[in-house]
Structure 1
């Protein structure tokens, strides 16, 4: 019932009061306001992206009455922010509520938002279904900014290049963003243009397996499972000081599949070999059913098989706007000194 939802929204907002004040003080205006799986309404999320709110429902459709209650609550508590709703309750998570006319035009307006003083472009609706900036990854971007000064950075599965742009803003000497999707890299280039960057990041449109194998100095097979490999951009071997690996849960590649549940090692090994001795590799796994400790053990075993030592291992925890009941967040981020 809508009457039961509003107190949950209020409790979540009140609990974030100090956090929001700190975020605003560091020039951050995008954060999660309601994390329903933990705060009492499974499948419902409310995120702020600068001047607009993005309400999304996963697994369960948000009724007209509940949407009206959500809209009224934030209109009173956070006046002036435009609210957009994306129904992603279908099994494929595609947005299921079409918009038309002025509503669609408003949802497609690109806005400039800020995180830790870095500007990004955000849009409520675009050709894909996921937001252009994943807010739970803020802790990872923050850590990259703390690590990046004077270093070479490789951002794998870069999507809209938030990590790479943050690294460049923080003084990285050299940044390479790799992603297969030209549309995502186009947004990344917009993000770079929004910021007064001391360097010009590189954007490489390529299958990530092909790119990272070349950087790691691993030869490319001419055939895989009886099929000739397509041509990929030619890249010279290079050992990076900092490598950020954030693959999707599952994706197809000419080299096989990206599979974070069953075969993270297939990506981890070349990423590790593209990391300089004494460098840092930050690995992400966003699959909830993957046990954190088992995944950490897998990374250790994979490193040993590759002949590299993990000298330090540290968890990077999502920030407080992404609460967890048991301290085990779906998004796992591990920083490895290698």
Structure 2
């Protein structure tokens, strides 16, 4: 089946969603989730005033791009930026026309539920500046942040933190190692006039989290510890934990398959009694119920208990096989 036919079918399925998005002041969402909708590794998104087409397995041909253009232009006549990321390192391979390159390099602003987010379709990093499948997480945090203190770990461009501030949080601490990502987060806070409650801590997550949890900062064997900012032990009303699949530093190893507890334990220690920790795991092969059971065990080992929980499933613009989405998000209220 052609890309044109498959994309048309995906858009037809989303008509009610697209109407709801417009009513909710949202102009960033997925219109084609290729892994589920027929072309593995092809994603097509609306990012504000542009369409973003990304291919992760195979370079699109000129004919395929024309087919995509034909369908998208009927929905909204916007510039189409194609990022070919089909090599293993996922860097953008293809050149654009000078006009489109200038547009892709320029800062734009998009809307999600009326919140403004900075957008740049090509930049020094690899991924777009807002992960669209995390919309449900930002909605949850916004709805549960009134008069709360919020810790946003692995914050990237601070979408969660901005949503918390817009939801009435009294303090939001965003922690990320990337100065580039935190600069974008600062822009997001400023765009929404909530910079006054947002903090931006550039740090490896391990020392930041262990200090906040009141634990000693250690490192991997024979690794010299680099400088890290000093933080006072603090508990928050709401903690959001969204680590990458795998990362290694002198302070420790992030491994969502084999050692989620290495991060989850200090994160729950930094969560107040009666507070909520939102845990995320984006590895498809991690079983949802097994992972959840491991989180509950970790809580109980600390002499605490889960009093309630809520699963947060991505919206319908991110369809999944058998409702088993790779991104798993659960909000745990702790005693």
Same fold, TM-score > 0.5, yes or no:
yes
What secondary structure does 1:113 align onto?
strand
CA offset digits 1:312-335 (Å, max 9, x no partner): 122100001111121110110011
Secondary structure of 2:111 counterpart = strand
Aligned to 2:70: 72
- 1:169-204 Cα offsets, whole Å, 9 max, x none, are 110011000000111000100111111228430000
Q: Distance in 1 between matches of 2:148 and 2:225?
A: 33
Contact 1:168–1:199 (CA under 8 A) maintained in structure 2: no
Deviation at 1:308, TM superposition (A): 2.2
Aligned to 2:120: 123
Matched, 1:286 2:263: no
> How many angstroms apart in 2 are the aligned matches of 1:226 and 1:189?
36
2:233 to 206, 223, 237: 237
Greater shift in the superposed pair: 68-77 or 162-171: 68-77
What corresponds to 1:145 in structure 2?
Answer: 142
1:163 and 2:160 are equivalent in the alignment: yes
CA distance in 2, matches of 1:216, 1:331: 26
Deviation at 1:231, TM superposition (A): 2.1
Equivalences for residues 1-338 of structure 1 within 5 A: 4-79=2-77, 81-99=78-96, 101-197=98-194, 199-221=196-218, 224-338=220-334
> Could you state the TM-score of these two structures normalised by the residue count of structure 2?
0.96
TM-score by length of 1: 0.96
Q: Extract unaligned runs of 5+ from structure 1.
A: none
Instruction: Flag the 1:91–1:224 CA change in 2: closer, same or farther, 3 A.
Output: closer
Find the residue that maps to 1:66 and give its secondary structure.
helix
Cα displacement (A) at 1:100: 5.8
Q: What runs of 5+ residues in structure 2 fail to find an aligned partner?
A: none
Q: What is the SS of the residue equivalent to 1:231? A: coil
**Residues 206 and 252, structure 2, Cα contact 8 Å, conserved in 1:** no
Q: Secondary structure at the match of 1:244?
A: strand
CA distance in 1, matches of 2:246, 2:37: 28
Alpha-carbon offset, residue 301 of structure 1: 1.7
